[in-house]
């Protein structure tokens, strides 16, 4: 992540990464880079694989005053569980406009 971002251990094996001032393209680029680096982890003497199930949420400026941080975490958490449900080792992302949450597809330039 960038120097302006925050990585927080949220509990157990869950982490929260707060990205500051991003658009959809940058969100996907950073999330995929994190996912790829997790997948590249190797443990000496074993064939065990590590993978990440990443849930992401972009909160548009007009939504920031209308929603509490706990609800933002809940939206990102549900996206993470969707990623796990789809087999893991992937990113599921949403954007929040007001109170409406819509799925973010991978931008063509990030695929």
pLDDT (mean) for 60-88: 86
Q: Are 29 and 53 in contact (CB under 8 A)?
A: no
**Section 7-32 average pLDDT:** 89
Q: How confident is the model at residue 56 (pLDDT cuts 50, 70, 90)?
A: very high
| Average model confidence (pLDDT) across the chain | 88
For residues 39-68, average pLDDT: 86
Confidence at 10, pLDDT banded by 50, 70, 90 = confident
Distance between CA atoms of 101 and 7, rounded to whole angstroms?
Answer: 24
pTM comes to: 0.84
Which residue in 5, 13, 21, 77 is the catalytic one?
A: 13
Q: Give the separation between CA 93 and CA 96, rounded to whole angstroms.
A: 10
Determine whether 13 is an active site residue.
yes
Residue-level pLDDT at 109: 62
């Amino acid at each position: 992540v960038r120097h302006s971002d925050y990585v927080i251990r949220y509990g157990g094996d869950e982490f929260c990464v707060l990205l500051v001032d991003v658009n959809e393209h940058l969100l996907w680029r950073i999330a995929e880079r994190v996912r790829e680096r997790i997948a590249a982890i190797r443990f000496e003497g074993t064939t065990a694989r590590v993978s990440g199930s990443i849930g992401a949420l972009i909160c548009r400026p007009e939504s920031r005053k209308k929603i509490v941080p706990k609800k933002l975490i809940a939206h990102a958490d549900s996206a993470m569980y969707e990623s796990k449900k789809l087999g893991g080792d992937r990113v599921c992302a949403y954007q929040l406009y007001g109170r409406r949450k819509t799925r973010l597809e991978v931008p063509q330039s990030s695929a």
